[in-house]
Structure 1
Amino acid sequence: MSQSRGEKIFVLGITIVLVLLSIFAIIPLLSVLSTSFSSKKAVDLNLVTIWPREFTFDSWNYIIYRPDLWKAFFLTFGSTVIGTALALLITALLAYPLSKSEFRWGPVLMVGVVIAMVFKAPLVPYFLTIRGVGLYNNPLVLILPHILNPFNLIIMRTFFKQFSKELEEAAFIEGCGYFRMLFQFVLPLSKAVLATLALFYGVVIWNQFQTPLLFLQDPDLFPLQIKIRQFITDDSVIMALVPSKLDVNYNERTLRAATVIFAIVPVIAVYPFLQKYFVKGAMVGSVKG
């Protein structure tokens, strides 16, 4: 169907706005990336904009050989992978029965889900509860508080409602139970919503800051975001990384830039592979009811 002149102008205007917003969003990232690859002299003289000046890998060579940073990276990576997988499993196990009209307790549970989504737990009771169940200074605190999100649950429940009842009834006639139906038929056909929620859960767990800040005191248990906070805000930590020798080609600003990019690269690298599922899953999960 051909577009009218007004529709073409509207699409063009929206495209221009989105391109401009994208440029404004990417400029700070390019600035940080350029700083991480620039020389100490160029950064000290404020010569770096969105292109590296006096290109060098010195900051990166120093960062990637720091064992404490890699320890924090793998702790964050492991908690993200395990937490995301566990969160998808728990969300699916709860969303599937809630998507069935014959589930008698479904409406009551959905009221609880909506209340949990709208009203967040106060900080002090939340802290006391987490500490009371033994998660204080425990690496599991990076995973367990994030394994179920009410908003993600609603998206998956809405997505499950689209499945044909005739298909499920035929499977039940052949002796298929609810668990087998979920794992052998429903989930394999739900790649879109699974990829979408995997991205939602994964980004939250990877970027979590408040939870480890509140509940982790052992430096050996600090995830990547807390470690980066030390690099950025604690001058004594970052200055300890910069030798007093004059032959190094990095300083505290280039090291800070390198650690920031080091933390966001994994998320940026994964997103293109999930993008096609992300768009489809988000649309279907939020529109169909």
Structure 2
Amino acid sequence: MHESRGEKIFGSAITAILLLLSFIALIPILSVLSTSFSSRRVVDLNLVTIWPKEFTLASWNYMVFRPELWKSFFLTLGSTVIGTMLALLITALLAYPLSKSEFRWGPVIMVGAVVAMIFKAPIVPYFLTVRGIGLYNNLLVLIVPHILNPFNLIIMRTFFKQFSKELEEAAFMEGCGYFRMLFQFVLPLSKAVLATLALFYGVVIWNQFQHPLMFLQDPGLFPLQIKIRQFITDDNVLIPGAISNANMAYNERTLRAVTVIFAMIPIVTVYPFLQKYFVKGAMIGSVKG
């Protein structure tokens, strides 16, 4: 389809604006990244902007060989992978029957999901409930509270409603049950929404801060975000007994920059592989009735 001159100008203007906004959004990240690769001297003098000065890997060499950082990383990675897979399974098992008009309790459950999405539980009763079921100082608190999100449930339910009833009826006539229909036919055709919700669930679990802060007291159970907070707020944890050593090629600012970038790398790495499904899944799940 041939574009008019006005449409080309409009498209170019939108592209330029989006590129400018993207660059503005990247400035803080570039600043932190540059700090992590700069020497202590230039950082102390506030000479670093968005490009490293006196390039050095000293801060990275110091941080990546800290066992407590890797322990927190693998705790977070494991909880994110397991939690995301479990969340997708639970969401699919609930969304599929809710997408069927013959399921008479569907409207009632959907009203409950919308209410749960709008009205959050008060902190104190929520804390007492979670502690009462044995999740206090338990690694499962990183997973269990996140295995079902009402908003994601609505998206997957709406996505499932698009499937052809004739195809399902034909499969049922061949002896296919609901579970087999879901796992052998519906889910393999739902890669777009599964990838989209995997990203939603994964980002929430990876970046969670409030739950581990409330329910985990053992430093050995701290996930990556809490460990980073510990590094940022406690200089003695970051550089034990060595803050005043002027011979070091790094300081607390460069090391904190490393931990922030370190925590971002996995999500930034995974996102490009899910991007092609992201818009399609979100749009279909949100727009179709």
Fold shared by both chains (TM-score > 0.5)? yes
Mapped partners of 1:43, 1:153: distance in 2 = 46
Output the CA distance in 2 between the equivalents of 1:185 and 1:238.
51
Partners of 1:12 and 1:98 lie apart in 2 by 44
Contact in 1 for aligned 2:231/2:256 (Cα 8 Å): yes
After TM superposition, the score normalised by the length of structure 1 is 0.97
**Deviations, residues 161-186 of structure 1 (Å, cap 9, x unaligned):** 11111110110000000000000000
- Once the two structures are superposed, residues 250-288 of structure 1 have per-residue CA deviations (whole angstroms, 9 ceiling, x without a partner) of 111100000100001000000000000111101111111
The secondary structure found in structure 1 opposite 2:238 is: helix
Q: 1:83–1:205: 8 Å Cα contact kept in structure 2?
A: yes
Matched residue count = 289
C-alpha deviation, 1:45, in angstroms: 1.3
Structure 1: any 5+ residue segments left out of the alignment? none
1:167 — aligned with what? 167
**TM-score if structure 2 supplies the norm length?**
0.97
CA contact (8 A) 1:242 1:252 kept: no
CA-based RMSD: 1.2
Alignment of 1:238-277 (within 5 A): 238-240=238-240, 242=242, 245-277=245-277
Counterpart residue type for residue 65 of structure 1: F
Aligned mates of 2:226, 2:245 — CA distance in 1? 28
**How far apart are 1:47 and its partner, in Å?**
1.3
Q: Distance in 2 between matches of 1:36 and 1:147?
A: 35
Deviation at 1:10, TM superposition (A): 3.0
| Counterpart residue type for residue 33 of structure 1 | L
1:227 deviates by 0.4
How far does the alpha carbon of each residue in 1:57-82 deviate from its partner, in whole angstroms, 9 at most, with x for none? 11001111000000000000000000
Aligned partner of 2:228 in structure 1 is 228
The question of whether the paired residues in 2 share the 8 Å contact of 1:242 and 1:251 is answered with no
User: Contact between 2:84 and 2:198, CA under 8 Å: does it hold in 1?
Assistant: yes
Instruction: Give the distance between the partners of 2:247 and 2:134, measured in 1 at CA.
Output: 49
Question: Which region of structure 1 is more displaced relative to structure 2, 207-216 or 244-253?
Answer: 244-253
Q: 1:36 & 1:181 partners in 2: Cα distance?
A: 51
1:1-289 correspondence to structure 2 within 5 Å = 1-240=1-240, 242=242, 245-289=245-289
Report the alpha carbon displacement of residue 5 of structure 1 after superposing the two structures with TM.
3.8
Q: State whether residues 243 and 252 of structure 2, in contact with CA within 8 Å, keep that contact through their aligned partners in structure 1.
A: no
C-alpha distance in structure 1 between counterparts of 2:32 and 2:244, whole Å: 24
1:241 positional shift: 6.8
Q: Distance in 2 between matches of 1:126 and 1:216?
A: 15
Task: Output the amino acid matched with 2:20.
Answer: L
User: How many Å apart are 1:4 and its aligned residue?
Assistant: 3.5
Quick check: 187-196 or 226-235, which moved more?
226-235
Identity between Structure 1 and Structure 2 (%)? 80
Cα deviation, residue 236, structure 1 = 3.1
